Amino acid sequence: MKAGIILTGDEILEGFVQEQNLSVISTELSAIGYEVMEVSIVRDDVEQIVSTIKRMCHFCSLVVLSGGLGPTFDDVTLEALSKAVSKPLQVDEQYLEQLKERFSKRYGRVFPQDLTRQALVLQDSIPVENPSGSARGLYYQSDNGNDFLVMPGPPGELKDVLNNAIKIIRRPALRVVSRSLGFVGITEAEMNPFLESLRRRYPEVRMVTRADYAIGPTLYLTTSNSYEKDLRKIIQEIRARFGEFVFTTIGESFLGLLVDRLRGRSLSLSVAESCTGGVLSSAIVSVPGVSDVYLGGVVAYSNTSKLSVLGIPKDILNSDGAVSEKCAAMMAERVARLFVSDIGLAVTGIAGPSGGTMKKPVGLVYSAIYTATYSDVYRTEYSGTRQTIMHKASYDLLKNLWRILQKI
């Protein structure tokens, strides 16, 4: 079964709001067997939404709409759907009373009549509860075989409504089997010839790659349950060819697995950062439950803090400089001693856009890993914006730590 997605909102098209819902919707639809054929972003214009709905109905069993369910003049999605399917809108009096009660409790003011819009439902549709807000979703099955799912635009609310909607929407007869493979330390271009040969030999398995410059490529495999054996064969062949670069075949998070690996070896970690300014620590602590592994970090941005907090010798800072192999190595060692951790990580460099010289250009970064039995320093020259350099440097150091943990 095929699906189409319509994202509504002038604010998206004009760049005021970054679109965040597409990947969430597509992932959930694909997981239950839908093939997403088209995505359209349209203005908050009734006629444009109507024409897009009607066009998608020619080739989609399910049309999903996001946004335009609020109480203001530009929230016209339900009006457009009503016109497209020739079904009237009705006021859900029971839900309207709930809205009035909520508003009174929260604000203690007179209920604005415009909020009545959020009590509107399409005739013969099923409201989908929204535990995070007042704009409910809506699911409607038409007589001509097209189904419609309408959800609010705010990402948090959409996720909650979608979780409820998935329980009631019509599902394709064929079960979909999917796997997500994550790679580290290899590029898409290096993998592509082999993946092309797999596509030719296993045409019933859909392959989609996504590049992540911070970690590495992700490969998505999808097929029907009739060809699950082919999917498994593909994974076996990929493991045989690229095994050292594969960190997951079931969609696990790289950072989550890195923390699990540290935990499994009873190893603790601390970090010292300069040019990344906390990006490295932020990446690590984004993993739930990391507190039993991560002991702490220091952002020693100035030479003064490197000297006073980490105890980097003044002669190293004067002779080699803060951006140097010796300084990075010393930062990693000193932060491990400061926090009494098994592993110390450090990164120092020039993120730009200014501050570079002929000998030490913008983008030059030294990073280091220290343990009682192993130490190493890495010199890399990055390009890109300040934020890109900070991000890449942080994740490259974590990838180097991953490779070391594979050996011990």
Query: What is the tens place of the pLDDT at every residue in 277-329?
Result: 999 999 999 999 999 999 999 999 999 999 999 999 999 999 999 999 999 99
Amino acid 211: pLDDT: 86
Res 174: pLDDT: 77
3-state DSSP assignment of residue 296: strand
DSSP 346: E
> Where are the domain boundaries for CATH 3.90.950.20 in the chain?
255-407
- 3-class DSSP string for 111-168: CCHHHHHHHEEECCCEEECCCCCCCCEEEEECCCCCEEEEECCCHHHHHHHHHHHCCC
* Res 175 pLDDT > 90: no
Q: Please give the pLDDT value at position 407.
A: 78
Q: Is it true that domain 2-165 has CATH number 3.40.980.10? A: yes
CA dist., res. 272 & res. 281, Å (int): 9
Q: Which residues contact 67 (CB under 8 A, 6 or more apart)?
A: 7, 8, 9, 12, 44, 77, 152, 153
Q: What is the pLDDT of residue 379?
A: 98
Amino acid 232 reads R
pTM for the model stands at: 0.77
Q: 399: pLDDT confidence band, cut at 50, 70 and 90?
A: very high
Say what the pLDDT of residue 273 is. Answer: 98
Contacts of 18 (CB under 8 A, 6+ apart): 12
All CATH 3.40.980.10 domain ranges of the chain, comma separated, are: 2-165
Domain covering 255-407, topology: Maf protein (3.90.950)
Provide the mean pLDDT of the chain: 96
Q: Where in the chain is the domain with CATH 3.30.70.2860?
A: 176-248
Q: What is the pLDDT of residues 27-84, one digit of tens each?
A: 899 888 899 999 999 999 999 999 999 999 999 999 999 999 999 999 999 999 999 9
Let me know how long the chain is: 408
Eight-class DSSP state of 176: E
> Can you give the pLDDT at residue 172?
86
Residue 122: per-residue pLDDT: 97
Of 32 and 362, the one with more pLDDT: 362
- The CATH number of 176-248, from 3.20.20.80, 3.30.70.2860, 3.40.50.970, 1.10.10.10, is 3.30.70.2860
Q: Quick one: pLDDT at residue 365? A: 98
